[in-house]
A and B are shown apart, each in its own frame.
Chain A
Amino acid sequence: MIVTGVGVVSPAGSGMEALKKVLQANTPPLPMPMGTREKLPVLQVPAEVFKNPLLSPIRRADRFSKMSLLAALEAWQESEVDLSRVGIILASACGPHATVFKFVNDLLEFGESQSSPTVFSQSVHAAAASMIASAIKSHGSVLNVADLHFPFETALELAEAWLNEGRCDVVLVGATEECSEVYAHAISRMWGERFVPGEGSFFFRCEREGKGPSVRVQKTLLDLPARTLENSLSLGEGSSVELQESSWVRYSGSLRIGGAFLLAVAEWLRRGEHFESIEKPISSSPIQIISRCGNSQRVIVYGEG
């Protein structure tokens, strides 16, 4: 499977260029206080991102859907494809939970008779991918998945299966996480200052063959007891250089879909960009994005060959 388009919305802003800019400058975005109660630090997607004119058809949608649509549209490169054979897979850990809390809040505040059908429909995980399908006018399979561990890696693996079995000609596969005031509160209570939560959306247009870097997912079992999720980015097999979580989370915040963020970073490395915080990759080696949780490990192998 190859990647023919990448789209990013991150705390650096909207677009791959915005991500490159902060990586080049080695100036991570600053955590901003979230909400009105505790004002906990969160690496948020900047407010101006949501003023993008591309979002005007879904101006009443929530942030989760808007981030997803912007990233998907950047990855989606219009071309002559059969739109009934374009698949979409959107992975997440917690989905549009800020909208769920908004719906619950309204329910407690105003009662069932005043609950909003618009807010309810957007609180359902399927909303964002549906808006992407509407925007690109695709009619193929749309799948939303939500798991706490490796949701993006499993979605990527499924995208390859869809392409290989001939279900789709193109699959837009991505991952989105948002942060809410309640989520930031829970993270803070559980882990103190160890994690600064982040948010963002990362999409990849995948095809079975053609011009572009290959991508595949490998799964291995390890002998590790703890169930903590860690992501790292390894520059080539056997390389001692890894962009450790403590380094990359400064750009994205802590994410359960960190593999998707790192795959976007890897695309810049593949294009030959050099960032001060990351050693230059060995040109002949594919980049490995390693996610570990408990006794399980996923490796996204990305690059030529």
Chain B
Amino acid sequence: MQKDVMFAGFGGQGILLMGKILALAAMDEGREVTWVPSYGAEMRGGTANCNVVISDRPIGSPVIRNPMHLVVMNRPSLEKYGPLVRPKGVVLINSSLVTADTGREDIDELTVSANDIATEIGSIKSANIVALAAFVARSQLVDFELLRECVKYEFSKNEKLININMEA
């Protein structure tokens, strides 16, 4: 069974890192995984997105035009990618920054005020981890405990951040 997700938002929100941590967790589960970033004339504050594909078999195309699931951290990403999600997919919307919704009934829409939650627990920079945790809890793409381990691993150089992210 092949599953995929697109993470999208502003550059600087940790979009690529969300995908990387999910990919790490999938790899640790012994599954095939690919992570592909948008690259090119990128800049801080511009748009950023990445695709993660997880499968039990060797992965064909790592580029996905119609994602199964979507995590959007800002409004332009919702407008651009919201309509592309395949029916029944999970769409997580960062409601701290996005007041709109997809307007679709055929998907599983989830709103999380990731920035506000992250600010409450100590650092707005953890908004991406808040959103990632909520997304994994809903979509069950990887084991949640394993995801915690991968977040710890990725931030292993900074203990303070681990604590903040664990709360997230």
Q: Are A and B genuine complex partners?
A: no
- A-side residues, CB < 8 A to B, are none
- B-side residues, CB < 8 A to A, are none
